[in-house]
Amino acid sequence: MWTIKVNKKKWLLIILLLVALGIGTCKLVNNMSERQVQTITFKNCTENYYYSTKWPDMEGEEDYAARGRLAVCLCQSYSEKADTAIARKIMEIYNNDGRHILFNTSQDKNYNKLDSVIKYRKMVFDTVAQYD
């Protein structure tokens, strides 16, 4: 018969590893339960994002970034086919959430703010959110 001799130090190491694995698993499950999938949709553009209640001081940053991504999608959709409802939604998101970049309007007599927002959509609707 085979016998395994394990001294106290090895048993202590095995127990500590099992406890650490258990704590890590609990934290992972707890973190996953705090995230909730949210969806925003307008016309043919849909954005899904995870809303986390873990960082209360960052409340609103996730949906801010999702609205920016939705606006970029709407700009692309408007470029393919002009629609006044999409144009209104783009300008609504721009006025509420967009980075108000000053466009050079002195060169263009027929200046249209919507056209500039659509042209520079990546810069206007920057979706980078940083966590400290």
pLDDT in tens, 41-98: 998 899 888 776 666 555 566 777 888 889 999 999 999 998 899 999 988 888 887 6
Q: How many other CB atoms sit within 10 Å of the CB of residue 65? A: 18
Tokens of 132: 């400290």
The model's pTM is 0.63
H-state helical runs in the chain? 8-34, 61-80, 84-97, 113-119, 121-124
Q: Give Cβ neighbours of residue 41 (< 8 Å, ≥ 6 apart).
A: 47
The residues spanned by each domain of the chain are 36-125
Distance CA 115, CA 112 (A): 5
Cα distances (Å, whole numbers) of residue 72 to 6, 22, 122: 62, 43, 7
Which of 13-22, 25-34, 54-63, 122-131 has the weakest average pLDDT? 54-63
Identify any residues that bridge with 51 across adjacent strands, giving them in sequence order: 36
In whole angstroms, what is the distance from residue 10 CA to residue 57 CA? 44
